[in-house]
Amino acid sequence: MSELDNPTLLLVDDDETFLSVLSRAMQKRGFSVQCASSAADAVHIAEHNSPEYAVVDLKMPGESGLFLVKKLKEIDDATRIVVLTGYASIATAVEAIKLGAIHYLAKPAKADEIAAALQKIEGDPSASVNANPMSVDRLEWEHIQSVLTEHDGNISATARSLNMHRRTLQRKLSKKPARK
């Protein structure tokens, strides 16, 4: 099998080191890899050579990974997309799936986990349900993320909707999500 026969994979992440390491790991797993460090670069690549698979970081400068999922599906509805993020939340996971992603993984994810997610055809009904409920802080984080998504990332509109001072919301958003 020549390299031209390998499935094409577009990796999109603003972390150049992570992108380089993941690119090498996915090439070892048989993918023909192209990399982009922004949504704009990824759209340009996909318009010229639509990938079979894509791994998209959620949070990047400029347009978000959610915007990119939508654009990649518009370019080629058959592209199988996995969203990868260090800022996992239920709201963004739901939005990513609604927009056409096939899976959503929290960083750090291993190359084998990413490769397996790209191959998933359907959900796993035997997946375990977490017996430990989320902490109050984590629930607050999830709710803020959900309202922020409803307002297309507009912090002022989100603060008004939550009846919260804008600076307070910005402080909460600048913190890492609370542990589950």
Domain CATH for 46? 3.40.50.2300
Phi and psi, residue 24, nearest 5°:
-60, -45
Is 180 part of any domain? no
Q: Provide long-range contacts, Cβ within 8 A and 24+ apart, for 111-119.
A: 111/22, 111/25, 111/26, 111/28, 111/29, 112/29, 114/22, 114/26, 114/55, 114/82, 114/84, 115/26, 115/29, 117/82, 118/9, 118/53, 118/55, 118/80, 118/82
Residues 145/12/6/2 CA torsion (nearest 10 deg): -170
pLDDT digits (tens, 9 = 90+) for 11-56: 999 989 989 999 999 999 999 999 999 999 999 999 999 999 999 9
Question: What is the per-residue pLDDT for 134?
Answer: 65
- Residue 48 belongs to some domain of the structure: yes
Percent of the chain with pLDDT over 90: 48
| Nearest CA among 11, 101, 7, 97 for reference residue 52 | 7
The answer on 52 and 140 residing in a single domain is no
Task: Evaluate if residue 89 carries a pLDDT over 80.
Answer: no
Average the pLDDT over 159-168 and give the result: 92
H or E segment and range at residue 33: strand 32-36
What mean pLDDT value characterizes the chain?
A: 85
User: What is the model's pTM?
Assistant: 0.71
Residue 127 lies in a domain: no
- Report yes or no: 50 and 75 within 8 Å, Cβ to Cβ: yes
SS3 80: strand
> Do 115 and 46 fall into the same domain?
yes
Do residue 88 and residue 47 come from a single domain? Answer: yes
Q: Are 73 and 53 in contact (CB under 8 A)?
A: no
Residues 157 and 94 reside in one and the same domain: no
Structural domain contains residue 179: no
pLDDT-derived band at 115 (thresholds 50, 70, 90) equals very high
Answer yes or no: do 25 and 105 share one domain: yes
Whether 105 and 162 share a structural domain: no
* Same domain? 107 vs 154: no
Asked if the model's pLDDT at residue 129 lies above 60, the reply is: no
Domain with 168 in it: what CATH number? 1.10.10.60
Q: Do 66 and 18 have their domain in common?
A: yes
State the residue range of the domain holding 153.
Answer: 136-174
On whether both 154 and 104 belong to a single domain, the answer is: no
Domain shared by 77 and 149, yes or no: no
pLDDT value for 99: 92
What is the spatial distance between Cα 150 and Cα 116, in angstroms, rounded to a whole number?
31
Residue 11 lies in a domain: yes
User: Which amino acid would we find at residue 29?
Assistant: R
Number of domains in the chain: 2
Kindly state whether residue 43 falls inside one of the protein's structural domains.
yes
User: What is the per-residue pLDDT for 130?
Assistant: 56
**67 shares a domain with 8:** yes
- Average of per-residue pLDDT across 83-92: 80
